[in-house]
Structure formats: C-alpha cells, structure tokens
Structure 1
C-alpha cells in the first residue's frame, strides 16, 4: 500500500506508465510513442557498500528507447543534484540506454529549484549538465472538467497531487471523484489510494478528498475506501465527544483532548460519547464500568 505523498508522486508512474505520455505533452516534449513500457528495479547500488535508490524507474521501448527515472521531491536539497547526476550516469552505464530524469513537486519554490540546469565540472567547462524535467503546480494542468478527468484518470490524480497546496484544488478533486463514479472498482481503487496518499501531507486537501470519497464514492467497498470512511467516522466521533463535554462545562485538559482526537476506534469513541452525557468530570469517560457478578 502507498503510505505517503512522496510515494504517490512517483508510484503513480509505476502503476500507470503511460501517464508519462500525458505529462510529456504538457511539458511540450517531442515524445515518440513507445511500443512498450517496463518497470525496472530501482536499486542502483554498486558493489561497494554505497546504496542509492531512485524512486521509480521505467524503460520505454520503441523507435527511440529511453529510461525514465522519476523522483518525488518535497523540498530543496543541495545534495540532490549530485545524487541525480549519479543516477543518470549509472543508468547509462548499466543499461546503455539514454536516461531521463523527471522530478515531481508539490510547491512552486521546490519546482523552480529542481528545474535549474546544474553544470558539473570546472567553471570554464561543464563536462556534464544535469537538466531535469519537472512536473509541479507551475505546469501541470488544472483539471476541473469531469469528462476531461475521465479521459485520463492518472493525469487527473497527478494534477490533484501536484496542486494539493492550491486553494482551488477542490475543483480537481470534485472532477476526479465525479469521473470515478462511472468506472469499475478495480479501476477506481488504485486511483483513490494514490490520490489519498499523495494528498496526505496537505491536511486541507486530504480532508476534502476524504469527504468526497465518503460521500460521492460511498458505494465502493474497497479497503482504501472503507479506511477513508472509518477515519472520517473516527474524526467526527472525537469531535462529538469533545462537543458534549464542553457543552456541559466540563474541563478538558490538553492531554485528554489529544487522547480523544488521536483515538481511531469508532466503538470506543461511541462508548466515550455515551459516558460524556452523564459523567461529573471529563476523565470519567475513560473509566470502564465494572462487570456485574
């Protein structure tokens, strides 16, 4: 299971290798449609005890074969340029196939930094120049039309992930959830999961998406959909417990507030809510009644 926005930004290319076709059009590349795409091992470790791993690695075969290394980047990192140059050199040496680097970002500052060419060599002669392609909020399409979203679900998911910090991301998420109503669960589930994980680091966007999944896609019974709905129910349950305690004028210390909001067990929250109606002090909701003999 994808477990972070970092993973989702590059794993979406593993799950949908053809996504690069849409991205290349957005970036204005003279891309030649491949005959096939292969997901390759991401381990770039040498015999020496130095381990280096690219996030995602694909091979595009056809008239103009090339390798595509996809890296998810959440912030500026002065050491990354050297690592990326190493990746490309290693890949060219290992596979004897031209490599290309695509960096996926969620904010404009990181995208602008990642897109800068990096000359490698003395100031008077750059032996190599690193020139990454960058996909981010500055150039990914803002897809808000459900028909357009339906035509390329993976590109729409990437659009949502890269625009996660945009105040208007709701339009993309709504278009995606609407488009997913018309597709089989086997198609929708991985898109839902990748989008969920891709938005994980941006709370507002993540909450909007979880609400849309819980409401617009409530008919899906997949594990990720159920997980999202369970988390939503837990969040609402915690809010109800706190609301009752505060309405009754009971003091809720910070550590107790954290314990309630961190609880993700709907059944336990339901028991706490029942007790919150009658307890004389807030901490009594945590006391389990003694079993009768």
Structure 2
C-alpha cells in the first residue's frame, strides 16, 4: 500500500511536531484540531521551528517553503476520508482516544491505518473501539519530535504484520529509528523513565536533597543530559502522574505508586514549565 496523505489529530506540541516531521519527509499532511486557536498555534509553532532551522542552516529556505506547502489544516474529522494514514495525538485519556478512533473508523477509508501517539495506554483497547483492529498500531514519538530520533512502534493484539511493516517503513522515511515494542503499560521508555522520575520526587519528599542537587547528581554522576526533576517539569507533572497511575493500575505493583508530593503539586496546579512552576520556577 502506498501512503502519501497523512492526517494528524491534535495540534498541540506533539501533534504539530509529528505533522512537521511528516511534511518535511515529503508527505502531504492535514493537521486537525477542533479548536481554531489550537490550529493557529500549531501552525505558528511549525513555522517558528522551520525558520529557526533555516537560521541554523539545518535546512534551506526552499525546503522550509516546500514543507509548509505540503501542510494544511482541518477542523473536522470527516476530512479523514482523504487519508491513507491517521495519527492521533490528543490528550492522554482512554475515553477520549476511543471516541476519536470510533469516529476515525467511520470516516477514514477502509485501507487507512490508524495510529496512536499514546505514551502509555494499551493499543489493544484503543483498537477494540474500531472495526479494523488489525490496522491499528501505536507510534510513540519522543518530544521534541523534529529532533528526537526514536519512535516506539507498538503492536496491539490484532495488529497485522502488514500494518507494522508499513509504519516501520514510514518511520525510516522520517529518518527516525523504529523500535518494536509489545503492548504493555508504559511500553519501554516510560516504564523505565517514569519510575526514575517518581523516585527522584520521593527523594525530595523525604528531604534527601534539594531538586537542584538531585538533578546535579544524575547529570554529573550518571551522565544524564537533563536531571529527572527538570525533565519532569518539561514533560508536565500532570502527565508524569497520569503515566505513573497507568503503570500502577496496569501492573498492580506498589513499586509504581505515585509519590504523594507529585500528587500534591498537580493538585496545586504546579505542573512544571507550562504552568510556570513545578520543582523549579519559570518566567
């Protein structure tokens, strides 16, 4: 199957990055969001990123213009009717995702593959909301999408080999590295990363050291490019808490219990960089 027309659902930071990566790779991309403001911000984010890439001589002005020419916007899911491949990048909530996939299943052509950028939720359950579970797959990009090379490709219980091969091929066309992952809570990246972040939060909670000193230990002692608490602020503490809850519920193991301090910060609205305060304060 030839895939050329791609639709990305959700124009937030991840969705915009996914749309940009595909448009730069030569695909015709439709960026969808129900919010006109979100679409506007998503377009601005892409334009700003591409302009910065031109300034840093990573791409040419011509390549930037060609990328933007291949990128269009949509405010209705019915536009999925023209897509060969749809990638969902909406809020990390199972009920919301299942509703999106039900609608996509109705609007997208029979040959279309439906993918989710979920960072932790089961692909098998998402696929069950459709009449084409063999054509549903997980495609977990890392943030920021234009820079990060890894893509976790997650097979659901019924995902076909043909669907997997098609997505692996697309990932290579994006100049990214595909890794096949089984459908377990958190997959690989967040199953390993989030408990580390949660343990760093426990170290703050128990008064072992300050956030700055904990981050320094991990950067200088284990050669991490960013400390776990800085990274948590960058990801969003609400997102970290949600993924820990998915791991805790999915495995039923107390080692995944979210730290009470993480819950307290989220309840206070201290969500990290996006809210101006988390383990650090931001302008």
TM (normalized to structure 2)? 0.31
Greater Cα radius of gyration, structure 1 or 2: 1
TM (normalized to structure 1)? 0.31
